Structure formats: C-alpha cells, structure tokens
Amino acid sequence: MWTQFIFRHWKLLGKRKQPLFLKSESSNTNMRTKDIGEYFFHTALGGLHLQIKAGCVRRIDFLQYTAGRDLDLVEVLQGISFNGQVCLQPSGTAFQFSVWSEMQRIQPGETLTYGTLAKKMGKPLASRAVGRAVGANPIAMLLPCHRVLPARGGVGDFRWGRWRKRQLLAWESSGKDALTTICAGMPLSLQFYLDLTTCVG
C-alpha cells in the first residue's frame, strides 16, 4: 500500500504528456501510474490533497487534518505543466462545466453573487442550480468557487470550511496570490485551463 508519494520524473512527448513516475517510500522500485497519482501536503490552510490523472489535475481538497510531509506543491504543478499551462480535468455534467468555466473568469480580489453568476451565463432564474454547481466544484482555489458569495451577505457555505474561504478572500483582497501564499511564498507563474474531456453530458 502506498503511503507517501514523491514526485520522481516527468516527460513531454510533443504536446502529449507521458504518465508520471512516482515512488513509494515502502518500495525501491519506480511505479508508473497509469491512472491516478495522489499527493498530500502541509499548507498554511492545513492538509491538502492533490489528485492527478494522465497529467491533469482532477481534484484538490483541503483536509480536516494535517496529512503528508512537506512536499513541494509548486514542483508537482510545474512538473505536469506544458508551456506554463496546467490542465484542470474535473468530472462533471455539461451544466456544471458551464458554471465552472464562467466561475474561472472571476479575477482575484473580485467576487460575484450566485445570482450575478447565473445572469452572466444567460440563466438569470437558475441561481439555485448555479449555487449547487459551485458547491460541487472538486478543485479548490484553481476553480475559484470561494469568490462566489450569497446575495444576503457573508461568505456563505464552503465545503472545505468557511474559515478557509474567509482566509482565501482576505489574501486576495490584499493583493496576495492564494496559491503562492499557501506555498509559503514560493512564486508560481502558471496558467490553469479547464478541459472538457471529462464532461459527462
């Protein structure tokens, strides 16, 4: 059973990435991950879980407990990047993808209400459905659901804890990059794009 995963090796073949090579602490042999690589990190917001499949980010979750060791999140993300871009490939429906795509346009330091996000999508009466799609986002920070707020005020719900949402918003409102900040200030000059391959209709 794998316990801790350490980034070992990555290659680019033209524009297509080969699978990552990872090494388990309990084994001296390299293992090719045909499907999924799991990483756990310490961050300023607690434990963080990163799931990568076929060179794309599938999930980023904050954990209620501190997991893993001080692995280098920046190095892992740079290792799966191509020309400075990282693929985000969550699983979701066509409607969820349309919400997440619009949500990704919200810039750091900016916020929108669920109703305003629905209007931007051309679905002004669908704010509740939009809210459910925002809440189902599986990739914390990189798909910035923390920038969507309720019209009644406050920060609203956040599947990883309201205190984390408040902290992310506080960092961004002060001009800090949230991802750089949780990585202890290490610079990260990457762009993240949403891949529709895993849209299930």
Give catalytic residues, as residue numbers.
145
Are 201 and 94 a contacting pair, CB within 8 Å? yes
Where does the chain have alpha helices with state H? 73-79, 94-103, 114-120, 127-135, 162-173, 178-182
> Closest by alpha carbon to 4, among 33, 52, 40, 53?
40
For residue 78, give the 3-state DSSP assignment.
Answer: helix
Question: How far is Cα 178 from Cα 168, in angstroms, rounded to an integer?
Answer: 6
Determine which helix (DSSP H) or strand (DSSP E) holds 46, and give its type and residue range: strand 46-53
